[in-house]
A = this chain, B = another copy of it.
Amino acid sequence: MTNKLDLFFGAMADPTRRAVIEQLASGPATVSALHEPHAMALPTFMRHLKVLEKSGIVRSIKKGRVRTCHLAPTPLVEVQGWLAWQRTVWESRI
Q: Is the CB of A83 within 8 A of B82?
A: no
In Å, the complex CA distance between A80 and B91 comes to 9
Closest to A90 in B: B75
Interface residue total, chain A, C-beta cutoff 8 A:
27
A44 within 8 A of B: no
Cβ of B6 and Cβ of A13 under 8 Å apart?
yes
Q: How far is the CA of A6 from the CA of B79 in the complex (A)?
A: 17
- Verify B10–A6 contact, CB threshold 8 A: no
Question: Distance in Å from the Cβ of A83 to the closest Cβ of chain B?
Answer: 6
Contact yes or no, B14 A6, CB < 8 A: yes
Q: List 8 A-B contacts (CB under 8 A).
A: A6-B15, A8-B13, A9-B10, A9-B12, A12-B12, A21-B86, A74-B93, A75-B90
Q: Which residues of A contact B (CB under 8 A)?
A: 2, 5-10, 12-15, 18, 21, 25, 71, 73-75, 80, 82-83, 86-87, 89-90, 93-94
